[in-house]
Amino acid sequence: MARLYHLARLNDRWFRLDEPFDVVYQLGLPVDGHYVSGCLQIQKFAVNCTWFQETFGECPEEADEETVRRFARAYIMMLLGTQLFADKSGNRIHIRWLPFVARLEEMSGYSWGSAALAWLYRCMCRLANRHVVKLAGPLQLLRSWIFWRFPRFRPAGYDAFSWPLASRWSGYNLNVSENGPQV
């Protein structure tokens, strides 16, 4: 199998990232397929998460197939807007994901892993601005990658392997010690 390399630039220095498929191992998301694109600049077209939770909080037991599909689309929208492509507000879901969830059957054909990684890189680049104080994006990917690559930061009792790797940290709650946050 041919090894693929990505290059990243930080200021004037270039770094070779020899594990482009880390996102596959960490989150279990595909990195091949159709590209995910959309308008990322428009901030006003977002729906409040509380509306999603109130409207689609629980699917009725006697729901027909179309109702179940509608609730599934809402759930996927919430996952996309709050987990993979979260903004700093933490309570908005952008409507840019509507065209993707409208065609549920085609969602597995997209490169969601690449899009999540690109979004994380974009958010981390924005964090380099001295006026930015909060990090957004798929932070569970970043945390899982840190725990995987730097075992000294890994909490005790989380050495078991499971796939995707990020699922190992699902029960982990970030504690604040006397030295500040652990991660």
DSSP for 49-94 reads: HHHHHHHHSS--TT--HHHHHHHHHHHHHHHIIIIIS--TTSSEEE
pLDDT for the residue 1: 36
Q: Write out pLDDT tens, residues 2-33.
A: 444 444 444 455 544 544 467 777 888 888 88
In a domain, 115, yes or no: yes
Q: When comparing pLDDT for 22 and 74, which is higher? A: 74
In a domain, 4, yes or no: no
pLDDT for the residue 63: 93
In a domain, 166, yes or no: no
Helix (H, G, I), strand (E, B) or coil at 109: helix
- For the chain, the domain total comes to 1
| Mean pLDDT on 157-170 | 66
pTM of the model: 0.72
State the Cα angle at 51 between 47 and 57, rounded to 5°. 130
pLDDT for the residue 2: 41
In a domain, 99, yes or no: yes
In a domain, 164, yes or no: no
pLDDT at 94 over 80: yes
pLDDT at 65 over 60: yes
pLDDT for the residue 60: 92
State the Cα angle at 90 between 181 and 21, rounded to 5°. 75
Percent of the chain with pLDDT strictly greater than 90: 12
Q: Which residue has the tokens 């179309």?
A: 66
pLDDT for the residue 134: 83
In a domain, 161, yes or no: no
In a domain, 56, yes or no: yes
Range of the domain at 133: 11-151
Tell me how far apart the alpha carbons of residues 165 and 163 are, in angstroms, rounded to a whole number.
5
pLDDT for the residue 41: 53
pLDDT for the residue 37: 78
In a domain, 91, yes or no: yes
Among 73, 63, 134, smallest CA distance to 103 is for: 73
Helix (H, G, I), strand (E, B) or coil at 8: strand
3-state helix, strand, coil in the chain (%, to 5): 45, 10, 45
Q: Write out pLDDT tens, residues 122-159.
A: 888 888 888 888 888 888 888 888 887 788 888 776 66
